[in-house]
Structure formats: C-alpha cells, structure tokens
Amino acid sequence: MDWLSILRDSEKNKNDKLEAVGYIRDILDYGGKSDDTKIEIIDTLAEETILQNDDDIKESILDAMLEGSKAPSVEKSINLRPIINHLDEFNDECLSYILSMLGNSGNVEYRPIIELYKSNSRLEGDVKEALSELDYRIKRSLLSDW
C-alpha cells in the first residue's frame, strides 16, 4: 500500500498515517526527486491535509510540505489554494507552517492572507517572519527580472 492510500484509508490508525507522512518526507528530503515531482507530491499533500481529521497528522503533513519545498523553484510553484480555502480548519500550530509556506512562496497575493493573523498573539512572530520572507523573495524576484 502506498503512502497516499494509507492517508486516505479511514481504517488506518494515527500511527500508520504518521509513518506514511514520515516516509513521504524522507522521499522529499532524500529521494533525489526532480523539482517537478516534488511539486506534484506537495500539491497532493496540500489536498490531503484538508481531508485529515487529526491535528497531529495535519501538522506532520504541513511539516513535510514545508521541509520538502526548500528549493526556490518548488516554494514558488506549489499550490496552496486547497489549504488557503480551509484556513479556519487549522489550529495555531498548523497555521505556523502555513504562514511560513505562504511567505516562502514570494507570491504577493498571499500578503493579505498572512496579515489576517496579525491579531493572533500566538502567531505574531510567525506573521512577522512570513511577511519578511515574502518581502525578501518579492524583492529578489524583481531584481532578477532586470
């Protein structure tokens, strides 16, 4: 059974699902996959995250997505829309990962989404860091266009 089947199987327990996420994180980190393949995997994880009911599994998936998307071409290419459309379903720990990915994307359209969390004192540092990363990547992108 592949990792995605395990995540989608309601009969599988939490440990089985966390183990599947660990497996895919290893693939993203050490599997020597192309950036296009990593984007495809991370996009699938983004869709899968919103289907999970357990916050620990969601957090583990988001961590795998964040760590697996460290290449600049991957960070700016992953599709975060499935997650963005369900932000109210995530706890603060999960939102911390999401804010990081939004900032790392360099997508100026994500600024208002990041700023929605300015008033959450538990996420204040995450918001500042995400906005700083976003500004840096936007500036870097503009300079490379010259």
48-98 residue pLDDT tens: 999 999 999 999 999 999 999 888 889 999 999 999 999 999 999 999 999
Instruction: Please give the Cα distance from 58 to 41 (Å, whole number).
Output: 15
In single-letter form, the type of residue at position 87 comes to L
Q: What residue numbers bound the domain in which 100 lies?
A: 3-144
Task: Report residue 78: phi and psi, to 5°.
Answer: -70, 150
Q: Give Cα separations from 101 to 10, 35, 50, 127, 143 (angstroms).
A: 28, 16, 16, 11, 22
Residues 6+ apart with CB under 8 A from 118: 124, 127
Query: What tens digit of pLDDT does each residue of 110-131 get?
Result: 999 999 999 999 999 999 999 9
Average pLDDT along the chain: 93
Our count of domains for the chain comes to: 1
Task: List Cβ neighbours of 87 (8 Å cut-off, separation of 6 or more).
Answer: 95, 98, 113, 116
